[in-house]
Amino acid sequence: MLIPRKISYRSYKTSIGEYKLYELMRFNIKRKRTLKIASLMIAPEKVVERQADPRNEHIYYVVDGMGRIEFLNSDEKPFHIEPYSLVYIPYAIKHRIVNEGLSLLHLLDIILTEF
């Protein structure tokens, strides 16, 4: 079992939602890549908009709660998520995560960054 040496915590309040982000791990891979694992918690009935970043791709794993992921610069239909769902978001895709439930939506956000 890996235990992180340092866990960073940030709480965000935006005009369209509020969420908490805990960075759990960060690994450097082959000089030009970083793998980050974060815990993302979205308040009930809130929306979090993630920017399109040409360097980041995301894999979301739903731990608890229900919601949907909307793709804002793509023709993809919204994807409904529930516990144990796994969703891949490619580079440069702007998306929104909506908590449709009455409890926290808890996701693990696995981010691969190229720099």
Output 115 or 78, whichever has higher pLDDT: 78
Give me the mean pLDDT over the 6-28 stretch: 64
Q: Is residue 24 situated within a structural domain? A: yes
CATH code of 29's domain: 2.60.120.10
Number of domains in the chain: 1
pLDDT tens for 18-44 read: 677 777 777 778 778 888 888 899 999
The answer to whether the beta carbons of residues 44 and 102 sit under 8 Å apart is yes
Of 55-59, 81-85, 91-95, the range with the highest mean pLDDT is 81-85
Q: Is residue 3 situated within a structural domain? A: no
Q: What pLDDT is stored for residue 60 in this prediction?
A: 95
Task: Classify residue 58 by burial, with Cβ atoms within 10 Å: 0-12, 13-18, 19+.
Answer: buried
Task: Classify residue 19 by burial, with Cβ atoms within 10 Å: 0-12, 13-18, 19+.
Answer: buried
Above 70 in pLDDT, residue 2?
A: no
Q: Does the pTM exceed 0.75? A: yes
Q: Please give the residue range of the domain that contains residue 43.
A: 8-114
Residue of 95, 94, 114 lying closest to 35 (CA atoms): 114
Q: What pLDDT is stored for residue 3 in this prediction?
A: 44
Above 80 in pLDDT, residue 114?
A: yes
